[in-house]
Amino acid sequence: MNEQDTPLSPDDPRLTAYAFGELEESERQAVEAAVQRDPALQAAVRDLRALGGNLASALAQEPLPAPVKARPRPATVRSEFDPPRGARLLRFPGLYYVMTGTAAAGFALLVALRDPDAGKSTKETVRRYEVVLTPPTESGSRSSGTGQASEASKHTGTAGDGASRMAGSRAADPSYRNREDNAFLPVVEAPVSSFAVEVGTEAYADVRRLLQAGKAPPPELVRIEELVNYFPYRYSAPAAEAVVPIAAHLEVASAPWSSRHRLVRIGLQGRELAEGASTTLATDVRFEVEFNPARVARYRLIGYENRSLDRDEARSGSAADGVIEAGYRVTALYEVVPVGEDLREDGSPKVDPLKYTRPGGAGVDPGVAEELLTVKVRYKEPDSDLAQRVAFALVDGGATFEAASSDFQFAAAVAGFGMVLRDSPHRGSASLLAVGQWAERNASFDPGGRRAEFIELIRRAEALVR
The residues binding other proteins (CB under 8 A) are 11, 13-14, 16-17, 20, 22, 47-48, 51-52, 54-62, 64-69, 71, 73, 75, 77-81, 104-105, 138-140, 234, 254, 259-260, 262, 272-275, 326, 338, 340-341, 396, 398-403, 405-406, 444-447
CA distance 380 to 385: 7
Task: Name the residue nearer to other proteins (CB basis): 135 or 145.
Answer: 135
Task: Name the residue nearer to other proteins (CB basis): 12 or 313.
Answer: 12
Q: Counting beta carbons within 10 angstroms of the beta carbon of residue 238, is it exposed (0 to 12), middle (13 to 18) or buried (19 or more)? A: buried
CA distance 359 to 343: 17
Task: Name the residue nearer to other proteins (CB basis): 62 or 312.
Answer: 62
* Contact assessment for residue 447 and residue 55, using Cβ atoms and an 8 Å cutoff: yes
* Contact assessment for residue 391 and residue 375, using Cβ atoms and an 8 Å cutoff: yes
Task: Name the residue nearer to other proteins (CB basis): 48 or 391.
Answer: 48
CB of 259 to other proteins, least distance (A): 4
CB of 116 to other proteins, least distance (A): 31
Helix axes 25-37, 39-60, angle to 10 degrees: 120
386: nearest Cα among 45, 74, 112, 62? 112
Q: Reduced to 3 states, what is the DSSP secondary structure of residue 141?
A: strand
Q: Counting beta carbons within 10 angstroms of the beta carbon of residue 158, is it exposed (0 to 12), middle (13 to 18) or buried (19 or more)? A: middle
Task: Name the residue nearer to other proteins (CB basis): 97 or 410.
Answer: 410
Task: Name the residue nearer to other proteins (CB basis): 188 or 273.
Answer: 273
CB of 77 to other proteins, least distance (A): 6
CB of 400 to other proteins, least distance (A): 5
CB of 444 to other proteins, least distance (A): 5
CA distance 392 to 119: 25
CA distance 341 to 190: 18
CB of 432 to other proteins, least distance (A): 21
Task: Name the residue nearer to other proteins (CB basis): 20 or 334.
Answer: 20
Task: Name the residue nearer to other proteins (CB basis): 51 or 386.
Answer: 51
CA distance 262 to 296: 10
CB of 45 to other proteins, least distance (A): 12
* Contact assessment for residue 301 and residue 195, using Cβ atoms and an 8 Å cutoff: yes
CB of 402 to other proteins, least distance (A): 6
- Tell me the H-state helices in 275-385: 311-316, 366-369
CB of 426 to other proteins, least distance (A): 17
CA distance 144 to 140: 13
Q: Counting beta carbons within 10 angstroms of the beta carbon of residue 102, is it exposed (0 to 12), middle (13 to 18) or buried (19 or more)? A: middle
Task: Name the residue nearer to other proteins (CB basis): 137 or 193.
Answer: 137
